Amino acid sequence: MNTRYAKVAIGLILSCAVQLGAHPPTALVTDGGGNVYFAYWGGTWKLGANGQLSKIHANDFHFLAIDNIGGFANSDTPLLRITSAGSRPALFAFSDYQAVFHTDGYLYLAPWSVGRIRLERMRPGGSKSVFVDAAVDPRIARKGGRHEGGVLAIASGPNGMLYVSDGASIWTVSSQGAISPLAQSIVVPGCATDLPAELPKPHIRSLAVTPTGDVYAAAIGCRAVLRVAASGQITPILRAESPWSPCAVAVANGDMYVMEYDNPLAERPDEGRPRIRKLARDGRVSSLAVLDKAPRR
| Mean per-residue pLDDT, 123-148 | 84
Q: How many domains does the chain have?
A: 1
Q: Over pLDDT 70: what percentage of the chain?
A: 89
Look at residue 51 and tell me if it is in a domain. no
Give the residue numbers spanning the domain of 79. Answer: 58-261
Look at residue 108 and tell me if it is in a domain. yes
Summarised one tens digit per residue, pLDDT across range 54-73 is 999 998 888 999 999 889 98
pTM over 0.75: yes
Cross-strand partners of 55: 45
Please check the confidence at residue 262 and state whether its pLDDT lies above 50.
Answer: yes
pLDDT interval class at 157 (50, 70, 90): very high
Who contacts 268 (Cβ-Cβ below 8 Å, separation ≥6)? 20, 296
| Mean per-residue pLDDT, 194-198 | 90
* pLDDT at 17 (0 to 100): 30
- Lowest-confidence pick of 11-20, 137-146, 220-229, 275-284: 11-20
The overall average pLDDT reported for the chain is 87
Please check the confidence at residue 11 and state whether its pLDDT lies above 70.
Answer: no
Look at residue 288 and tell me if it is in a domain. no
Look at residue 95 and tell me if it is in a domain. yes
More confident site: 232 or 5: 232
* pLDDT at 166 (0 to 100): 94
Look at residue 285 and tell me if it is in a domain. no
Look at residue 10 and tell me if it is in a domain. no
Q: How far apart are the first and last CA of the chain?
A: 36
Look at residue 245 and tell me if it is in a domain. yes
Look at residue 255 and tell me if it is in a domain. yes
**Which among 199, 275, 206 is positioned nearest to 40, based on CA atoms?**
275
Measure the CA–CA gap between 131 and 294, rounded to whole angstroms. 38
Q: CATH number for the domain including 256? A: 2.130.10.10
